[in-house]
Every structure is written in structure tokens, then in C-alpha cells.
Amino acid sequence: MKVYKWINENIYGSIPVTKTEFDLINTKAFQRLRNIKQLGLAHLVFPTADHSRFSHSLGVMHIIGRMAAHLRNKYQIFNTKEVDKLRIAGLLHDIGHYPLSHVGEKVYQLLTKKEAIITKKRKGNKNEENILHIASTELKQEDVNHEKLGKYVILNREEIKKILERDDFDPNEIAKIINGEHINLAYDQLIHSGLDADRLDYLLRDTTQTGAKYGLVDLDYIIRMLSVGRDENDNVWIGIDKRAIHSIEHFLLARYFSYSQVTWHRTIRGFEIMATALFYEMAKRGMVYDSFEQLKRIVDTDNWINFNDNYFYQKISEFSNRINNELCNILLFNLNNRRRAKLIYEEKDFRNGKAKSHSYAALENLIYKKRDEILKIANEHNIPEDFIFNQELSLKIDKIPSSTLLDITDENKKETIMVIDKGKIFPISSLPSSIIHPLSERSLYCLRLYVVDLFIGKTLEESNNLFDSFISDFKRLYDNELKFLKEKLP
Amino acid sequence: MDEKVIELKLCLDKLGGFRMDDFKERIALQKKIYLMQLSGLDLGYRFNWYIRGPYSPSLADVAFDAWNNKDLLDEICLEYELNQEASEHIDKIKDLIESKCPLEDDLEHYKWLELLASVHYLKHVAYLTDVNKENKNDLCQKIKSLKPFFTLEQIEVAWDTLNKWGLIKNKTLKT
């Protein structure tokens, strides 16, 4: 690459950029990323987690460039033009990100979700119209995810398209690489795999910025030990040299801890659900862009540049003047005053498949089958039903259990990291000598029940005291369920 | 239990059942949902190109979670049903998903699904520059190079089958 400028930053020291990259960085669309925090609302818990999609995108470009250059120099699987192409894909991979990152993305997924395709045979569950319930729903509405919006930006924003075409890059190809729709599987592995540049950068960056030191992986060693193998059909697989297997075990565990301790943090998750609910409610009332189609229409205008975190904060400030809904009112107050949602109960289960612990199953039964009993207690404590919400998360150390990878042609091996030994490929979780082998059979499940802090005008201590009696009544209900399960299924 | 899990289970039930015991069933699951979404019933999954054809990591996540919670899911699903419009969409494409390779030495069903989904993906979604996607011969040759374990004849039959369904000219059934 022909270095045009150097950019100093806090993770890698300095990052070289080419003229094409420099011009792309200077577009308004890329500068917009300065105003989108990488971790959404995590700064409410980790005060220094205020890094942006801008710095992360530079980091991904830098790492993917180093990975690709190593693979070009040592294994000749890329040429120099391809390395440049991959760097640009890394640089632009988040160009379509939403205000508050995944919070905003979730809102447009909710808005895009077509009419329900399933219906409940017996009506009457008010919970399904509750905006907090809606906001905590996990969706896979990938047609509006940030990569898809990014594709739209790359193909329709003139300032970006012009630079790419001027320097002989096909905007469509860059967009397809970012979206995993390129048929070159080696490209895909550097940008969408268990060991991709995106994950490596956010682990290191989030660790540095939050101060939670789980993600300090050995980047230089990992890149140096990247290797190439081929399967029975001569497909190229990028993986890690067997000698460096422990660095990958460390990487996978670091990612696991970083997710469980930062991304999944109970308070951050609570704030994110509250913000999602408010954003969604504003969209339903037409106070913010209310559809993906509308966003596509503003992509090549200055309105797009303002579609960032500040957009959300400005809109909720306007919303607070017009509001006439008790729940929204309280959510706004709580978000503005950092009054977190209170955790009524949480259960975690690190389990193998279907073998749930009694303690997890008891909470699951109450939430999914006996919700009315929870709501009855809430009513007794004057807590409105729609102030209670739940969240379920699951996290795997390696995405796919080793037992599913016995057949090397299994396509789920895409999700795992390959270990290369003398040109042969092995999924890391399939190696009995690796710590990942037994751990990959298990997932961490987490089930949480929250209640919105609804005591405006009371001090935090007063509010806590009021909830304590509710929570102790809930605990009695939970203990009864647990006892019942233990007797039924010892 | 999120709706996405219930939706997936009910759609798969209508397409013959939810099974993930071995790699053939997991491949079939991915390709069934890919093809089903062509009916216009969009569960929201988007697919990357992979050795065995279109593959969605998100779908794999949801399916594994559903499989691990199958007992609870079976119980909860008793309370739900696919709405009429969704059922009609699935009915529109069910015959394609249940079809067999018309050649005498027919392929195992999961391989046939893989081939149908792959031809469609390479025709309509994937980035290919060195091939005229409109030309059957060119594209089939390209697929042969990407998937050497299929014969050219099998690939051409898959193209012809999709063509009969209008899925060569159009990306989805609804257009």
C-alpha cells in the first residue's frame, strides 16, 4: 500500500492510510460515525466507554489489512489490490450504523417486522402490546441491519461512490463483501467469521475503553500465526497454526467474558431496553424516521449526517414536552436521570443442551407459563403490569458444539475457528486437546426479570425500599416454584 | 421464548418437521428456510455464500437455541398457530421444497435443496463478475467449478426447475 497519511490512536499507536482511504474518511458520511457510540449506552455504567464507530472502523481497516497482507506475503492467497479492497471493506463495514448502535438498529428491525405471522390461539395477553416487552424481543430482521443500510449508503451516497470509482474499486463489490455475499470465501472469513477483524478490534477497543480487562488478546501473535489450509474440495480455509492454539483459546474465552461482563451487563441491558422502547414509541408516533424506506430516501442528503446519537437525544427532549403516557414519561425521566431498571431476579445456567438447572427452570416457568402470578404480586404492590419486563440471552464460547462437527462437510463449521496442522484443517472445538472442546458443548443462558423504577420524586434509597418488599414477595413465589420442580423432577 | 423461535418452529412443522440431529438435517433446514422466504414470507434471515450454498449464521443461532429448548418450545407452540396468510405463502412454495431431483439417479433430498438454493443465490444475490448471470450455460459452469460434487446435468436440472417456478427470471415468487 502507498501510505498517504498516518493517524495516531490509542490501540495500535498509529495507522497508515492510503489516499483513497483518507478521502473516504473525510466524507461527511464517514465523519457521521464520530457521533455514534460503539457501545450504545454502556457509558452509563463504564464512564469512559465513549468510543465511537469512527475509531472502531479505522481499527477494523487496520487489522484486516494486516491479516490480509500477512496471508498475501506468506501464502499468496491475495494480491495487493485485494488487500486494498479488504481494507476498504473494513473501513466501511459500519457506515450504515444506527443511532446508539444496536439500540437504533433494533428499533428499525421492530418497525420493519411485517405483520405477525403467528397468532395466539387464545387472546388476552396484554403483555404482547407492552412496549418494554416489544423492545426486549430478540429479532432477526436482517433486511434492515446496519450492513444492509451500509450497502445502501455505499451504492447511493455520491461522495463515497465517486471516490471508490475514481480509484477503480467497484462499490457493489465492497458492499457485497461487507454483507457476506461475495463468493470468495477467504474474504468472508476475514470479515464474518469466528476470528474476524471486527471481533479482534472491538475486543481490544472495548477492553481499553471500559477498563474491564477481559479482552486483552495477543493481536500481533494471532496475526503472525494465521495460516491457510484446504479442504477436500480445495476450498481455502483461513485458520490459526496449531502451535498458536492457546492464543485462540484465550481469544474465545476473552470474548466470552467481555460479552458476559460488558455487553450483557444487567444495568446496560436495562437502559438499552428502555431507550429502545422510547425510540420505538417515537417512531410509531411519527416523531422520528419511522421506516427503513424513509432512511433510504435520506441517505444522500444532509439529514443522513444528523442521523446519529444526537438525533436520539434531541428527539427524546422534544418528546418529553408532548408526552401523555405514564410509562413513557417515567422511562424518559429514568433515562435522563440515570435511574436504572431494577432487577427483580436473574438466573444463569451454563448448560449442555436441554439439561436445565432447577433454579433456571423455575424462573422460566414463572415468566413464560405463570406470568399472571408475578403480575398479581405486582398489583398488590401498586406496580403496573406493563412496568415489568424480561430478557433472555444465550452466549456460546464457540458458536457450534463440537459434537455437531464430526462430519467435516457440516456447514455449521463456518461458525468455528479452524486450526491448521500441516495444511489440514480442524475446527478448534473438535480437538480433544483443546479446552474449547468440552466448553463448546455448553452455552451460558441468562434470564432476567426487571421492573422499571417508577417512583419519580423519591430518592434512590426510598425507591429501593419500596421495591424491596415486592422483591421479597417475588422471592417467595420463586422458592415455591423451585420446591415444586425439585419434588416433581428430583 | 421469543417469537422468532416460535415462528421458525411453526414454519418448519408445516414444511415437514423440525429436526437437527445430523448435518444433513441442518443443511436441509437452512435451505428450506432460504427457499421458503422466496415465497414472500420473510422471516428476516439474510444469507451469506458458503461452501454448501446460502447459509445464515443467525438462522443457525435461532435453530440451535430452539433445538436446545425443544420441550418448552413444543409446549408453548401449542398456544400458537401460523396465520392464514403465512400458511398460504408456504403452500405456494411447498411443492418446490418437497420436490425431488427429476433425474433417474436422484440426489438425496438435502443435496437437491442445496443445489436449488445455490443456483438461486448465485443467480440473484452473489457477487460474480466473470460470468454472465443471464446465461444458463455460463452460470451452470461457474456453479460446477464452485460445487464440483454436483454433475453439470444436476445443476442444469436445478436451473430448469427454478425456471419453471419463475425463479430464474424473478428473485421471488411475489414479483
The pLDDT tens digits of the residues spanning A468-485 come to 889 999 999 999 999 999
pLDDT, position B67 = 85
pLDDT, position A120 = 75
List, for residues B133-167, the tens digit of each pLDDT value.
889 999 999 999 888 889 999 999 999 999 999 99
* Averaged pLDDT score across all residues of chain A: 91
pLDDT, position A457 = 77
Predicted confidence band at A2 (pLDDT cuts at 50, 70, 90)?
A: very high
Chain B residue with CA closest to A369: the answer is: B76
* Averaged pLDDT score across all residues of chain B: 91
List, for residues A317-344, the tens digit of each pLDDT value.
998 877 778 889 999 999 999 999 999 9
pLDDT, position A225 = 97
Sheet hosting strand A442-451, strand order edge to edge: A342-352, A442-451, A388-396
When pLDDT is averaged across residues B4-26 and rounded to a whole number, the result is 90
Q: In angstroms, what separates the C-alpha of A356 from chain B's closest C-alpha?
A: 9
The residue of A82, A108, A142, A368 whose CB has the most chain B CBs within 10 angstroms, and thus the best one to mutate to test that interface, is A142
Contact: B68, A354; criterion CB under 8 Å: yes
- The answer on pLDDT for A405 being more than 70 is no
Q: Say if residue B43 is exposed, middle or buried (CB neighbours under 10 Å; 0-12, 13-18, 19+).
A: buried
pLDDT, position A464 = 81
Percent of chain B with pLDDT strictly greater than 90: 61
End-to-end, the C-alpha distance of chain A in Å comes to 65
Contact: B49, A392; criterion CB under 8 Å: no
> Comparing C-alpha atoms, which of A372, A370, A377, A368 is closest to residue A344?
A377
pLDDT, position A1 = 87
- The answer on pLDDT for A52 being more than 90 is yes
- SS3 call for A470: helix
List, for residues A114-152, the tens digit of each pLDDT value.
667 888 776 555 556 788 988 988 777 888 999 999 999
- The answer on pLDDT for A403 being more than 70 is no
Chain B residue with CA closest to A416: the answer is: B57
Please tell me the distance from the alpha carbon of residue A399 to that of residue A333, in angstroms, as a whole number: 39
Predicted confidence band at A459 (pLDDT cuts at 50, 70, 90)?
A: confident
Predicted confidence band at A32 (pLDDT cuts at 50, 70, 90)?
A: very high
When pLDDT is averaged across residues B31-40 and rounded to a whole number, the result is 96
- The answer on pLDDT for A86 being more than 80 is yes
Please tell me the distance from the alpha carbon of residue B123 to that of residue B173, in angstroms, as a whole number: 15
- SS3 call for B48: strand
List, for residues A342-399, the tens digit of each pLDDT value.
999 999 999 886 688 999 999 999 998 899 999 999 999 989 989 999 999 888 888 6
Percent of chain A with pLDDT strictly greater than 90: 71
pLDDT, position A322 = 79
Q: In angstroms, what separates the C-alpha of B161 from chain A's closest C-alpha?
A: 23
Chain B residue with CA closest to A182: the answer is: B127
Residues 6+ apart with CB under 8 A from B58: A140, A142, B45, B46
Contact: A183, B49; criterion CB under 8 Å: yes
Please tell me the distance from the alpha carbon of residue A477 to that of residue A414, in angstroms, as a whole number: 44
When pLDDT is averaged across residues A269-294 and rounded to a whole number, the result is 95
Chain B residue with CA closest to A191: the answer is: B48
- The answer on pLDDT for A204 being more than 60 is yes
pLDDT, position A3 = 96
pLDDT, position A126 = 52
- The answer on pLDDT for A411 being more than 80 is no
User: Would you say the C-alpha torsion A274, A275, A276, A277 has a positive or negative sign?
Assistant: positive
Please tell me the distance from the alpha carbon of residue A278 to that of residue A318, in angstroms, as a whole number: 12
- SS3 call for A360: helix
Where does residue A319 fall: left (phi above 0), alpha (psi -120 to 50 degrees), or beta otherwise?
A: alpha
| Nearest residue, CB atoms, B80 vs list A120, A368, A410 | A120
Predicted confidence band at B169 (pLDDT cuts at 50, 70, 90)?
A: very high
Q: In angstroms, what separates the C-alpha of B164 from chain A's closest C-alpha?
A: 25
A234 or A421: which carries more pLDDT confidence? A421
**What are the backbone dihedrals phi and psi of residue A301, each rounded to the nearest 5 degrees, phi first?**
-125, 170
Predicted confidence band at A410 (pLDDT cuts at 50, 70, 90)?
A: low
**Architecture (CATH level 2) of domain A5-287:** Orthogonal Bundle (1.10)
Please tell me the distance from the alpha carbon of residue B53 to that of residue B122, in angstroms, as a whole number: 9
Q: In angstroms, what separates the C-alpha of B55 from chain A's closest C-alpha?
A: 8
- SS3 call for A343: strand
Contact: A231, B51; criterion CB under 8 Å: yes
| Pick from A370-384, A388-402, B23-37, B85-99: least confident | A388-402
pLDDT, position A9 = 93
Predicted confidence band at B65 (pLDDT cuts at 50, 70, 90)?
A: confident
Please tell me the distance from the alpha carbon of residue A144 to that of residue A111, in angstroms, as a whole number: 10
> ipTM of the assembly?
0.86
Predicted confidence band at A96 (pLDDT cuts at 50, 70, 90)?
A: very high
Predicted confidence band at B104 (pLDDT cuts at 50, 70, 90)?
A: confident
Residues 6+ apart with CB under 8 A from A381: A466, A469, A470, A473
Contact: A117, B126; criterion CB under 8 Å: no
